[in-house]
Amino acid sequence: MKTITVSAALAGSVLLASGAAAYDTITEAEVNAAQQAWGEGIVAIGAAYTANEDYEAAAAAHIERFYAYGSHDVLFKPTLASDDQFRGTFDEALSYFVGGSIAEDNGFAIAPYTNVRWENEGTLIDADSAVAMGNYFFTTTEGNEVKVEYSFGYVRGDDGELRIVLHHSSLPFSAE
């Protein structure tokens, strides 16, 4: 696992564009914690679906917590999207996670999964943003892991929490 600080000159406190607060440089530990929490959120959406609870509300809360919709442009290319490949709005992301407004969406997050495990290839940190790339593994209810390649980009929200502004994931290449 590699971590590269892109701009050491900007290390330390960073004033957000809003001028509302100053926060320290994003750290690898924060990226790892955001990834872990994101995976737990995916598992919680599936658990809500299985328990006949309000899984759409769980998915909406997940998107609000982890993605920067409303404050930044979000570049989101989900794993299982091929006809409508990019999800630039909150509603399009919600459709991907639970099914809905886009015909090809079957509800990725309601599969359900029991765990999400991350293996970062590397993380690039530039004071007020970070990008991580690697593989994440979704554990099915049968105990099988589904390997997915990802790149996630993060910025710090006005509340100090990391928000996703880039999410690209895809299944590994197969010659078959």
Half-sphere exposure for 121 (CA within 13 Å, toward CB) = 10
Q: Return the number of other C-beta atoms located less than 10 Å from residue 176's C-beta.
A: 3
Domains in the chain, CATH or no CATH each:
2-7+23-170 (3.10.450.50)
Spans of the chain below 50 pLDDT:
2-20
Measured over the CA atoms of residue 53, residue 64, residue 77 and residue 89, the dihedral's sign is positive
The predicted structure's pLDDT at residue 21: 54
Give this prediction's pTM. 0.85
The predicted structure's pLDDT at residue 22: 61
The predicted structure's pLDDT at residue 12: 34
Contact 91, 101 (CB under 8 A): yes
The predicted structure's pLDDT at residue 64: 97
